[in-house]
Structure 1
Amino acid sequence: MNGTSGTARVIVVGSGPTGLLLAGDLADAGIPVTVLEKRPHGISNLSRAFVLHARALEQLDARPSPTTTLDGRAARAPVSRSVADELEAVGRPITRLDLFDGLTLDLGTLPSRFDHVLVLPQYEVEKVLERRAVAAGVDFRHESEVTGLTQDADGVTVRIEGAGSLRAAYVVGADGMRSAVREAVGMPFPGRSAIRSVVLADVLLAEQPETVLTAGAVGDAFAFLAPFGDGYHRVICWHRGRDVPDHEPVGLDEIKEITRLALGRDYGMHDPRWMSRFHSDERQVPHYRVGRVFLAGDAAHVHTPAGGQGMNTGLQDAANLSWKLAAVLHGHAAPALLDTYQSERHPVGRTVLRSSGAIVRLAMAKGWQLQVRAALATALSHLAPARRRAIGQVTGIGYRYPAPRGAHPLTGVRVPDLALAGGGRLYEALRGGRFVLVTPGPYDVDPARADRLAAAHWRSGRRTTLLVRPDGYAAWAAENAGPADLEKALAAHVG
């Protein structure tokens, strides 16, 4: 790769879950994609994410699963099986979240096919998303470190350590908290360290916890346990009084002591295969877009691990941006559509930052703060609207995007998995990466739009016409829509 190449239409920097989903979406849409990753090829077990929430699972349900042929190559699986189906087969679902002061969030009431949290390590998500991206034809270039970039009116040139440069129409930085792309465009990352000297370890346990996810806080100590599925458990623990640099060595005795303080016992931890120390920041860039460069996932926002929302928020960033890039590059939408990535996703990132921070501060409350926490727990336990809002934020299903003044109330709303005539489901219909028009009766799609629009109709006798975006949000809706209204909406949103 010497000199400058113009073959890549989109360059995605970073091959974590956010970058993999985005790259796979674009390649599925027929957009040439190159993924640049500074690490050697391989799936790491050092990731911190351990749960998929309902909204992320819904997004993954809208994407067909890859499979593997006998010769080891990736191929497309039947459209009846999704990425979410693949992950559900290896993860462990839990239907309730136990927080503090007896507060329990019952996920069994979620208006979603995925009425649970799916517990599985991040690397399992990466395995499936990488196979999907390979099957779609994504060009992976590992050990390719980005050292800078320049952009002009026609595209972006990315410089790569020891390998010249690569040219693309757009670049997406999904390269984590220490994003080289963010640094290259000069975007600040304001915020602060929320928790210092958090300790991580992968250990075997002599005694198995009673629950899949185990968490507790007593006094100045907090600990969390989650299974890998291979016999090892990830331990995340923290002690308020031990504030040391990240490079300070970690010993098993320290981890066991903090866990005993927080959970009452250490479950007979032994044989650690990995231990480390880190600090948790709360930061968000002011702008997710700088010209032809976008930031997504941890490159755009980082927060405490409380609530398990980090990987989930990044996946939803990718789902929001990918179809918009594809629409613009195929000439079906004006470049101004890309500005909505900022207006839709930045407020969500800000809310996640605040809610995850509130959870960890409440978990570690002391003194008079304990009374506030107890009062909040009581309110959430007895006030259904407040409880639904809390569940909606944590699981992601409660977010909606801005809608134009005077728009139908459903515009911008996350659309649930509707039952369609003929026995199908909405998220099965979304697996083609197209808009889905849901109408009161049969509708024939104009062949000129068939590559970006599918049609279905309600199983029930509803009179609402609903245009669902590829990411599962309502682009437009109307009651008793006439042909002229429908054509106007399709021209505006589908092209």
Structure 2
Amino acid sequence: MTDTDVLLVGAGPTGLMLACELALAGVRTRIVERRTAPQRDSRALTLHPRSVELMDMRGLAPRFLALGNPVPGWHFAALDTRLDFAALDSRHGYTLFLAQARTEALLEERAGELGVRISRGHETTGLRQDAAGVELEVRGPDGAVDTVRAQYAVGCDGGRSLVRQAAGIAFPGTDETLTGMLGDFAEVDADPAVLAALRARGVLAVPLEGGLTRFVCIDPERMRVPAGQPVTLEEFRTSLTGICGSDCGVAQPRWLSRFGNATRLAASYRSGRILLAGDAAHIHFPAAGQGLNTGLQDAMNLGWKLAATVNGWAPPGLLDTYDAERRPVGRAVTENTEVQTLLAELPLLPQYQLPAVALRRLLDELLSLKDVNRLLAGRISALSTSYPPATADTDPLVGQRMPDIGLAAVGSEAMRLYELLPRGCFVLLDLTGDAHPPQALAPGWHSRVTAHAVTKHDERADFHGVTEMLVRPDGHIAWCTRATDADIRSSERTAALVAWAGAPAGGDASPLNPSSVGPV
């Protein structure tokens, strides 16, 4: 007998987001977290467009937007030419400036509403698995060690993940060669215009809530200091003076920290009943603020698949698609952060300074080209993330992120697609414009699929000729068809539903091979 269905280790953004997704699907979920209280200080400060879209799909966007500040542009390697998120195909074409502590608080609030149990002050000390489940040894605040059993365990416990180590999952990559410093200061003696000008010297100064100002810098004289070595106020002042000619009057530090460019990617995101997400699966230099966002997107991909497995309706191989889809994304993020790190480091090295400055100037010019800017903006924002279809002849829309199109359906007022996703179910759209009862589209799948006969929707060139579409719970396109014959559409639809949403209630609906349209 298991104590819970899924045990999550780590109550950071990734663990909290995953807990919400699992609980939304009725999965008994518990988080164990070694910290006794939520993290006060925030390493990450932004939610990227795709992360805001994920919140929108679950009806949570208003909570985040009420506390955050939208910023239409972002950066790649701190180049002068900004990435134009506003030009992207999204209703949320901006970075939402929101401290990580706020993000965690909002997600914890939602987790509480869904009945997630969060055990703070509990440290995981051991882990083992068998064919039926996973056992974790957990030491509580009083020092007593209990054994907790679950069907599955997910390590959301950061770059030094005990879960990953206990599962024997390798973490190959490169060691730290470069470090920077950040400091949050309650007192700063510098004009805002002066602080804004520091960016040209490689120092970022950002106002935070509570009257704090964050400074981030890479000091050529200190960039080989190990990340584990504490930062002192005197050291920070010395570095600012050396870089900028002034220490900007920084005083009363609330938080001082050092960060490095160690870059690693787990050899697998799954080992039997143990899975990894967020920093436990990938670490990298915090270039362009992608770490927290990638973790949230890991959680959204894994949540519905793991819930389907626990609830007993997952088609064969569904849970394995988490690694197949998200590990390539992790690899792409680690690669682009290595490029950005190099572009930041080379100008600091005397032997490369002149060509490095010329290289950055050239890249600035390239980013002024709309297509180049859109390409990089799509990658950094994660709006261009697409998962490979099962076969080469699958419709090119399959695997792509589904935009939040406006539509009108039979028996309902005009709405947006993301308004159909808060329950975390599949959405089946009949786009033919026929006003027939949508219940006939997916008989036997009503608990997992909401069907809608769409009478009108936003006209888009890439949707031209599409007659039906199945949207996954994470907002990616599982299947679509351009067939006009009703019998052909029905056959394809049934195969797609079986492949992605499992056998219908009451048994197998179709002898068709779902591998032609479904997950690998």
Question: Deviating runs (4+, > 6 A) in structure 1?
Answer: 211-215
Residue 248 of structure 1, CA deviation:
4.1
What residue number does 2:199 align with? 216
Instruction: Please point out which of 2, 5, 11 is paired with 2:7.
Output: 11
What residue number does 2:43 align with? 48
Tell me if 1:198 matches 2:180. Answer: yes
- Taking structure 2 as the reference length, the TM-score comes to 0.85
Given the superposition, is the C-alpha separation of residues 260 and 109 from structure 1 closer, same or farther in structure 2, using an over 3 Å criterion?
Answer: farther
Given the superposition, is the C-alpha separation of residues 263 and 132 from structure 1 closer, same or farther in structure 2, using an over 3 Å criterion?
Answer: farther
Instruction: Please point out which of 324, 333, 344 is paired with 1:343.
Output: 324
- Of residues 100-109 and 465-474 in structure 1, the stretch that sits farther from structure 2 once superposed is 100-109
Aligned to 1:39, the other structure's residue is in SS state coil
- Per-residue CA shift, 1:9-39, capped at 9, x if unaligned? 1011100000000011101110001111111
Task: Check the 8 A contact 2:298/2:326 in 1, yes or no.
Answer: yes
What residue number does 1:240 align with? 220
What residue number does 1:480 align with? 483
Residue 267 of structure 1, CA deviation:
4.2
Given the superposition, is the C-alpha separation of residues 83 and 101 from structure 1 closer, same or farther in structure 2, using an over 3 Å criterion?
Answer: closer
Instruction: Please point out which of 379, 385, 389 is paired with 2:371.
Output: 385
Given the superposition, is the C-alpha separation of residues 23 and 248 from structure 1 closer, same or farther in structure 2, using an over 3 Å criterion?
Answer: closer
CA–CA distance in 2 between the matches of 1:310 and 1:468?
A: 26
Question: Residue type of the partner of 2:44?
Answer: A
Residue 172 of structure 1, CA deviation:
0.4
CA–CA distance in 2 between the matches of 1:412 and 1:211?
A: 46
Tell me if 1:168 matches 2:163. Answer: no
Task: Check the 8 A contact 1:217/1:263 in 2, yes or no.
Answer: no
- Taking structure 1 as the reference length, the TM-score comes to 0.89
Given the superposition, is the C-alpha separation of residues 215 and 165 from structure 1 closer, same or farther in structure 2, using an over 3 Å criterion?
Answer: farther
- Per-residue CA shift, 1:268-312, capped at 9, x if unaligned? 322212223343321111111011100100000011111100000
Aligned to 2:334, the other structure's residue is in SS state helix
Tell me if 1:227 matches 2:207. Answer: yes
Task: Check the 8 A contact 2:84/2:373 in 1, yes or no.
Answer: no
Given the superposition, is the C-alpha separation of residues 98 and 10 from structure 1 closer, same or farther in structure 2, using an over 3 Å criterion?
Answer: closer
Residue 412 of structure 1, CA deviation:
0.4
- Per-residue CA shift, 1:25-56, capped at 9, x if unaligned? 1011100011111111x221233111110011
Given the superposition, is the C-alpha separation of residues 261 and 400 from structure 1 closer, same or farther in structure 2, using an over 3 Å criterion?
Answer: farther
Aligned to 1:230, the other structure's residue is in SS state helix
- Per-residue CA shift, 1:323-349, capped at 9, x if unaligned? 001111222213521111111000100
Task: Check the 8 A contact 2:387/2:399 in 1, yes or no.
Answer: yes
Tell me if 1:60 matches 2:67. Answer: no
Tell me if 1:467 matches 2:447. Answer: no
Instruction: Please point out which of 304, 307, 310 is paired with 1:329.
Output: 310
State the number of aligned residues.
468
Aligned identity (percent) is 39
What residue number does 1:34 align with? 30
Given the superposition, is the C-alpha separation of residues 212 and 432 from structure 1 closer, same or farther in structure 2, using an over 3 Å criterion?
Answer: farther
Tell me if 1:362 matches 2:343. Answer: yes
CA RMSD of aligned residues (A): 2.3
Task: Check the 8 A contact 1:23/1:133 in 2, yes or no.
Answer: yes
Aligned to 2:210, the other structure's residue is in SS state coil
Task: Check the 8 A contact 1:120/1:227 in 2, yes or no.
Answer: no
What residue number does 2:265 align with? 284
Residue 379 of structure 1, CA deviation:
1.9
What residue number does 2:418 align with? 427
CA–CA distance in 1 between the matches of 2:476 and 2:194?
A: 34
CA–CA distance in 2 between the matches of 1:241 and 1:11?
A: 44
What residue number does 1:180 align with? 162
Residue 447 of structure 1, CA deviation:
5.7
Given the superposition, is the C-alpha separation of residues 293 and 94 from structure 1 closer, same or farther in structure 2, using an over 3 Å criterion?
Answer: same
What residue number does 1:66 align with? none
CA–CA distance in 1 between the matches of 2:236 and 2:257?
A: 10
Aligned to 2:185, the other structure's residue is in SS state strand
Structure of higher CA gyration radius: 2
Given the superposition, is the C-alpha separation of residues 417 and 318 from structure 1 closer, same or farther in structure 2, using an over 3 Å criterion?
Answer: same
Task: Check the 8 A contact 2:185/2:251 in 1, yes or no.
Answer: yes
Aligned to 2:136, the other structure's residue is in SS state strand
Given the superposition, is the C-alpha separation of residues 195 and 94 from structure 1 closer, same or farther in structure 2, using an over 3 Å criterion?
Answer: farther
- Of residues 467-476 and 275-284 in structure 1, the stretch that sits farther from structure 2 once superposed is 275-284
Tell me if 1:116 matches 2:97. Answer: no
Given the superposition, is the C-alpha separation of residues 380 and 278 from structure 1 closer, same or farther in structure 2, using an over 3 Å criterion?
Answer: closer
